[in-house]
A = this chain, B = another copy of it.
Amino acid sequence: MKELMITTSSCAREEIPDLGNRYLTGNGYMGVRGTLEEYGRDQLVAVNLAGIYDRFGTGWREPLNAPNPFALRFLSGGEPLTLPEAAADAHRQTLDVRRALHSRETRFENGVCLHIERFSHMEQVHLLCLQATVTAQSAATFTLEAAIDGDVWDIHGPHYREMALDTQDELLTALGTTNEGDQVAVCAGYTLDLAHTRRDRTDARKRIAAFAFQLRAGETATFTLTAAVYTSRDTQSPADAARRAAQAAPAYATLRTQHIRCWEKLWERANIEIDGDETAEQALNYSAYHLLSVAPRHAESLSVPARGLSGQTYKGAIFWDTEMFMLDFYLAILPEVAKATLRYRIDTLPGARVKAEQYGLRGAFYAWESQEGGYDACSDYNVTDVFTQRPMRTYFRDKQIHITAAVVYGLWKYARWTGDDSLWREGGAEVLVEAARFYHSLLVRRVESDIDELRDVIGPDEYHERVNNNAYTNEMARFVFEQSVEVTTRMARQAPDDFEALERKLRFKTEIPRFTEAACSLKRQAPDAKGVMEQFDGYFALEDATVAQVRARLIDPREYWGGAYGVAAQTQVIKQADVITLLFMLRDRYTADTLRANYEYYLPRTEHGSSLSACMYALAACAIGKPDEAYPLFLGSAQADLNGGGKQWAGLVYIGGTHPAAAGGAYMALLWGFLGIQPDADGIRISPRLPKGWQGVACQVVYRGQVVQLACGTLADGHQGTAF
């Protein structure tokens, strides 16, 4: 397995947000942004926690950032050695992707050299570990202020109405209490390997242990830090738990070894080799790194937010991204994580029922932005008008009804890939029936027609609001109707007791014929003479402008393209793959000709304003035998976080962060696109369609409980089309 290090010598202010994403470390329990130790809230430092949220006032409800125990400040002779203010001769920030170690090395002008390594412990997910060494060229007096910084970065905060700061038995503790009454405890212990004095103090929302020591010329001091993070969602007394964990933690070197060993095991499974294209290989492994870093390996029922654990963007909520774009990776590499994300959906069914009721519907209307319990964090106002600074009414929460189908599709993918029917039996079938009920309760029919319709929806392409019969939405709803019949029929046959229990609970038997009927009568966007499916009723009648033309109409680069009056709204320019996403997801149902016609039609009309877009076109391009056209689209997805950039703004709302769905999409493009995998009862066949320059590909997946080598070309090693 090749090393994979990413480095930068930049600490330029304008790059700080991007670097924070790119150098992120995490372990599924929390994500630590790749910021330097001397940074604070203004530099978007965050120890972002999974699955715990808070609302301040009437602001958006968003995930908590824990008090940051990695806040260090070195002073030499009273002068702070902090970037970017202090003059430095050399500076380097590094992420060792294979070991998930973040480090920085800075040589200041005064000859002091600072090296700090840190990680989010991959096995003991409550632990954050750090080791710093400081070397002086000439004798000097140092102060090292190690803090737990409770003055955290919040988008819609402050989320801590109280922050208790304390030292007990030399352990610093910060105990934050949120507006909603949750608690977050961080406890940190330190070692310093040479004579020092220590004075602890509280400074506003920081608890600081200040170590004073002297170094002779050429001497090095080594400092370690082990912090534990617990919340009231983990245990009744998070402060005690954090203290115990910090006290019990072994030495840094031991923790580091455990951590690295854990990652080694993950890489044994997840590593991807591409002979002939180091760029793609690195981008894919870097994508896998992010998906592994945010995977809830510690949880039975938890899912992955759309921006991973990189901050509060998108409210730390679970979107369709997980089921549609990340799940394939988890199914292939960490099936238990895939299961945990789906259990999260099963467990949040009550929230989906409540939401359906709120809209006067039956069944399960899953949250567009799902927090714990299935609470929909999606506001009615998600975009700010750049011209008036007013919030704009958006309809993502109300009308993006395809979310429920995505949950069903995820459950279906799980069963199909793993061969494990347990999720259907353990609540999945209930979700499925409630999903079918939801869509059935939404169906309308013109009194003069016998065609059912889904009107006033938003499809994947969010630039066109309130449309009728979005092809993607209708077909995914049809899929739900069909699955509800198929799965429950099979269940009645194979697990009659489970079926009867479900029937007693839901009383749905009599509805099955109606679901069958709806699957037939729901409107289809039939391909036109050229084979192109209309994205929604009336789409073809919209102005057929190019993406460049539409972009040229922008007055402000940050203005929203969609909504009622956005530059794209009355044109055929779309934000992201929509019909093409459908054609991939339900790929068994469409011919290559249909795919080709739609690919050619929609690609030039797609802005790719979402990171979920390019990978779908890459998959389509592969499927129609154009891997070289697929390649740049694939690479864009694979490098989404490695290169940074991307859309940072929707109107005036910050939407930066990591893009695990783009990472997952790139992985899908590898598997389903370039390798052309075809899993079935006998195993996985591959039909490689490699882009120029790729001499060989090798990776492995867990399929139906077995590890399967997938390899082709120079790396096939006699395994071409390897199955069980």
Cα–Cα distance between A570 and B398 once the two chains are bound (Å):
15
In chain A, residues 377-409, which have Cβ atoms closer than 8 Å to a Cβ of chain B? 380, 385, 387-388, 390, 392-393
Contacts of A446 in B (CB 8 A): 441-445
Q: Is the CB of A447 within 8 A of B443?
A: yes
Give the nearest-CB partner of A439 in chain B.
B447
Tell me whether A456 is interfacial, beta carbon within 8 Å: yes
With A387-B387, A555-B388 known to touch, is A569 a contact of B393 (CB < 8 Å)? Answer: yes
Q: Which of B442, B514, B565 contacts A393 (CB 8 A)?
A: B565
Give the nearest-CB partner of A441 in chain B.
B448
Chain A: interface residue total (CB-CB under 8 A): 30
Shortest Cβ distance from residue A606 to the other chain B in the assembled complex, whole angstroms: 21
In chain A, residues 432-468, which have Cβ atoms closer than 8 Å to a Cβ of chain B? 440-448, 452-453, 455-456, 466
Tell me whether A337 is interfacial, beta carbon within 8 Å: no
In chain A, residues 579-616, which have Cβ atoms closer than 8 Å to a Cβ of chain B? none
Contacts of A392 in B (CB 8 A): 564-565
Cα–Cα distance between A390 and B466 once the two chains are bound (Å):
21
Q: Which of B443, B448, B453, B563 contacts A564 (CB 8 A)?
A: B563
Tell me whether A518 is interfacial, beta carbon within 8 Å: yes
Shortest Cβ distance from residue A507 to the other chain B in the assembled complex, whole angstroms: 15
Q: Is the CB of B387 within 8 A of A565?
A: no
Q: Which of B362, B385, B441, B448 contacts A443 (CB 8 A)?
A: B448
Shortest Cβ distance from residue A91 to the other chain B in the assembled complex, whole angstroms: 44
Contacts of A466 in B (CB 8 A): 466
Shortest Cβ distance from residue A245 to the other chain B in the assembled complex, whole angstroms: 47
Q: Which of B385, B440, B448, B555 contacts A447 (CB 8 A)?
A: B440
Contacts of A563 in B (CB 8 A): 564-565
Cα–Cα distance between A442 and B446 once the two chains are bound (Å):
7
Given contacts A388-B555, A564-B565, 15 further A-B contacts (CB under 8 A): A362-B448, A388-B565, A393-B564, A393-B569, A393-B570, A440-B447, A440-B448, A443-B446, A444-B444, A444-B453, A444-B455, A445-B445, A445-B446, A447-B452, A564-B564
Q: List 26 A-B contacts (CB under 8 A).
A: A362-B448, A380-B570, A385-B565, A387-B387, A387-B388, A388-B555, A388-B565, A392-B565, A393-B564, A393-B569, A393-B570, A440-B447, A441-B446, A441-B448, A443-B446, A443-B447, A443-B448, A444-B444, A444-B446, A444-B447, A444-B453, A445-B446, A445-B447, A447-B452, A456-B456, A565-B565
**Interface residue ranges, A against B (CB under 8 Å):** 362, 380, 385, 387-388, 390, 392-393, 440-448, 452-453, 455-456, 466, 514, 518, 555, 563-565, 569-570
